[in-house]
Amino acid sequence: MRDISQALIIIDVQNDFCPGGALAVEGGHEIVAGINGLMTEFQTIVLTQDWHPSGHSSFASSHDGKDPFTETEMPYGAQMLWPDHCIQGSQGAAFHADLDADKAHMIVRKGFRPQIDSYSAFFENDHETPTGLDGYLKTRDVSAVTMVGLATDYCVNFSAVDATRLGYAVSVEQSLCRAIDMGGTLATAQDGMRAAGVTLL
């Protein structure tokens, strides 16, 4: 069992990010058994859940003439546009059925504000609106986090980099992550995480 200062943060292991889902990540389902195993080592376990209202501003369908996987400008900067995914309460937004979600102590929902996306478990994409997770972890005396989940180059990456900025020691267990990897986004994310001081396992 790991020390109580260590938390496991499991990012977005939801049906829409697994094969057959609206924004499927190749091999997304392959990490579930390993994550269940890793959960038994931690005394603080957090799940994040991408949780969008229908018509969310990160959906290409909300922007006339825009296709998924193209970028647009938002007041807070560049935003990739996605297929509709993880609609609040839908089967696509549910955790993968084999994930031991009952073992989690905290579930952080994100991306629920219509006008702003949220990749990170800590801050929305304006990099200043907090999700509250930092307060939860600090009040439980957590100082080190291990991250796993989907997708390596988006939500895991943004969460890991934000966690280093907030002062946590951060490891990403890459064998329990899968990436979207469009045109080199995985390599860019790995470089960014390393530069921020994330330990890539």
Residues that bind ligand VGL (CB under 6 A): 12, 17, 50, 82, 119, 150-151, 154-155
The CB-of-93 to ligand VGL minimum distance in angstroms stands at 11
Distance CA 118, CA 88 (A): 14
The CB-of-57 to Zn ion minimum distance in angstroms stands at 11
Distance CA 190, CA 187 (A): 5
Number of H helices, E strands in the chain: 4, 8
* H helices present in the chain, as ranges: 32-39, 133-139, 157-165, 185-196
Residue 198 binds what, of Zn ion, ligand VGL, none (CB under 5 to 8 Å, by partner type)? none
Mask: binding to Zn ion, 91-130, rule CB under 5 A, as x and -? --------------------x-------------------
The CB-of-199 to ligand VGL minimum distance in angstroms stands at 20
Among 50, 124, 134, 162, binds Zn ion (CB under 5 A): 50
Distance CA 196, CA 87 (A): 32
**Active-site residue numbers?**
12, 110, 155
Distance CA 144, CA 155 (A): 18
User: With contact defined as beta carbons under 8 Å apart, do 96 and 21 qualify?
Assistant: no
Residue 168 binds what, of ligand VGL, Zn ion, none (CB under 5 to 8 Å, by partner type)? none
Mask: binding to Zn ion, 133-172, rule CB under 5 A, as x and -? ----------------------------------------
Per rule CB under 5 A, count of chain residues that contact Zn ion: 2
Residue given tokens 């800590």 in the structure block: 122
Amino acid code (one letter) for 94: A
Considering beta carbons, is residue 10 or 142 the nearer one to Zn ion? Answer: 10
